Amino acid sequence: MWMTDQLSHFASQVTLHVFECSPPPPSVLSPISSSSVTKDVVEFKTATKTISTCLRKVFYGARQLELAGLPIAPYLAPHFQLPLQHYIRSYVKTIKVPTSTPAKNK
């Protein structure tokens, strides 16, 4: 029980730093309005690289602990599921939002 609580606390702190946001809404199935999307596509691409690097390092560390006899990756992964789904849905929403109207050639 202690280990589960510590992993939960660790994952929540990592989530705040990695995703640079407050926790996502309770349901990732709730619609994301275009007004709630504040980043543009370039910012999302940069943030995506950072997020993937951070999560890779977190799970690399978890793998090292697993090799030492402490398997935490299966218990750690579910904590990142909702924030990651919310981030991906925001990214998709940003890509679908038109940024400007194309200029007509005369």
Domain count, the chain: 1
> Is residue 6 in a domain?
no
> Is residue 62 in a domain?
yes
> Is residue 24 in a domain?
no
Q: How confident is the model at residue 68 (pLDDT cuts 50, 70, 90)?
A: very high
* The pLDDT value given to residue 27: 52
Report the 10 Å Cβ neighbour count for 19: 21
Q: Residue 11 has which token pair?
A: 């994952």
Q: Residue 9: pLDDT above 80?
A: yes
CA distance 45 to 48: 5
> Is residue 103 in a domain?
no
- Residue 49 belongs to what domain range? 39-96
> Is residue 29 in a domain?
no
Q: Residue 16: pLDDT above 50?
A: yes
Instruction: Judge contact between 72 and 7, C-beta under 8 A.
Output: yes
Give the torsion sign (CA, 82, 84, 88, 90): positive
The better pLDDT of the pair 23, 66 is held by: 66
> Is residue 55 in a domain?
yes
Q: Residue 24: pLDDT above 70?
A: no
pTM of the model: 0.66
